[in-house]
Amino acid sequence: MKDFPIPVRSIGPGSQVEEEALAYMPMPQGMETFRAPVLAEPEELALRHQAHAALRDALEQLERVCFDGINRRVDLRGLDMDNLALVNQVLGEGEVSARVQHDGEPRRELHIQESVFAGVWRVVGSTDGRVETDQIEIGPIPDALKAVARADVLAGMRRWNGPLPPNVQNAPALLAEIEEQWRAWKPGQPAHVVNLTLLPMSVEDIGFLDHHLGTGRVLILSRGYGNCRITNTQMPHCWRVVYYNSQDVVILNTVEVSELPEVAQAAREDLEDSRQRLKEVLEWVMQA
């Protein structure tokens, strides 16, 4: 019998050998969602009158903020450890945290943590590690972050004289565009976002841009799908916003011209939702 002149090959799934393995981008993991607080036993809750009063005050202030959008605060410095523990349990920790570190001595810091109720923030100020102020602040974002960002603004942008450093090509033109945007920006305007990820920017270009924009004292971290790191620059209304996936790899690198990036703020709908949820939790606490 003669050999069949046409070679026989298998077909179908798994019959072909891939020369290179496909590299899939890892999917984000660990999305933060609302979790009801785990509270103490009813007998213990009933004795914590200071915490009850502080939480009722926070709910009242939240209702006012939902009406007019103006930030309000509840002072926690008079609470003892047991009552403060109940407040901590009810508030929990949400997606957004921030830190402001003031230069010089003594060392002054402001730590901000959003609660599980969006728009309800814990704001703690310390000097050399000693807590001096402790507040609940209700609003889209604590006012201190905007105030410090305004205080960090320099009189003008740094100017480069002479030949550009090696591998710096596109940053100067981009800086001119960003400067034009922040000079023309007015409150109420939508954010202007420059997507550096889509532009032909070298590592040296990014360093040159960051050097000329400067870095301020505000650091905001937002956890959702992956992480978002926000820092203020030393130019007015100008922020560096960098997104990372769950493997801590940069997936989006931007410069945003706005009063404060929306990704860090609680929307009006978030505040309304928090008002209802905090009311339900507080009713349960008061029943105890």
For 102-106, the CB contacts below 8 A with 24+ separation are: 102/217, 103/217
Confidence check: pLDDT of 28 > 50: no
Amino acid at position 23, single letter: A
What's the mean pLDDT when you consider all of the chain?
85
Domain 148-264 classification at class level: alpha beta
Contacts of 143 (CB under 8 A, 6+ apart): 71, 137
With b for 16 or more beta-carbon neighbours within 10 A and e for fewer, the 89-123 pattern comes to: bbbbebbbbbebeeeeeeeeebebbbbbbbbbbbb
Question: How many other C-beta atoms lie within 10 A of the C-beta of residue 33?
Answer: 7
Q: Collapsing DSSP states into helix, strand and coil, what is residue 53?
A: helix
Domain boundaries, the chain: 42-140+266-287, 148-264
Confidence check: pLDDT of 181 > 90: yes
For 238-268, give the DSSP string: EEEEEEE-TTS-EEEEEEEESSS-GGGSPPH
Amino acid at position 27, single letter: M
Shared fold status for 42-140+266-287 and 148-264: yes
In percent, the amount of the chain with pLDDT more than 70 equals 82
The per-residue pLDDT for 6 is 53
Confidence check: pLDDT of 58 > 70: yes
The per-residue pLDDT for 159 is 81
Confidence check: pLDDT of 248 > 80: yes
* End-to-end alpha carbon distance in the chain: 93
**Mean pLDDT value across residues 227-234:** 94
Least Cα distance to 212 among 173, 258, 241 occurs for: 173
**Mean pLDDT value across residues 14-33:** 52
The per-residue pLDDT for 247 is 81
Question: What pLDDT, in 10s, does the model give residues 103-142?
Answer: 767 788 999 999 999 999 999 999 988 899 999 999 999 9
Question: What pLDDT, in 10s, does the model give residues 59-96?
Answer: 999 999 999 999 999 999 989 998 999 999 999 999 99
Among 9-18, 153-162, 168-177, the minimum mean pLDDT is found in 9-18
Question: What pLDDT, in 10s, does the model give residues 249-284?
Answer: 899 999 999 999 999 999 999 999 999 999 998 888
**Mean pLDDT value across residues 16-41:** 53
Domain 42-140+266-287 classification at class level: alpha beta
Residue with the larger pLDDT of the pair 176 and 6? 176
- What distance lies between CA 73 and its chain's CA centroid? 20
| Rounded-to-integer distance, Cα 114 and Cα 137, Å | 9
User: Which two tokens mark 141?
Assistant: 């974002």
- Residue 166 — very low, low, confident or very high, per pLDDT cuts 50/70/90? very high
Residue with the larger pLDDT of the pair 226 and 256? 256
Among 101-105, 159-163, 194-198, 257-261, the minimum mean pLDDT is found in 101-105
| pTM, full prediction | 0.81
- Residue 8 — very low, low, confident or very high, per pLDDT cuts 50/70/90? low
Q: Give the CA distances from residue 69 to residues 103, 140, 276, in Å, rounded to whole numbers and listed in that order.
A: 32, 8, 16
Q: Helices marked H in the chain — which ranges?
A: 42-45, 49-68, 81-91, 143-151, 171-184, 203-213, 268-287
For 155-205, give the DSSP string: SS-----SSPPTT--SHHHHHHHHHHHHHH--TTSPPEEEEGGGS---HHH
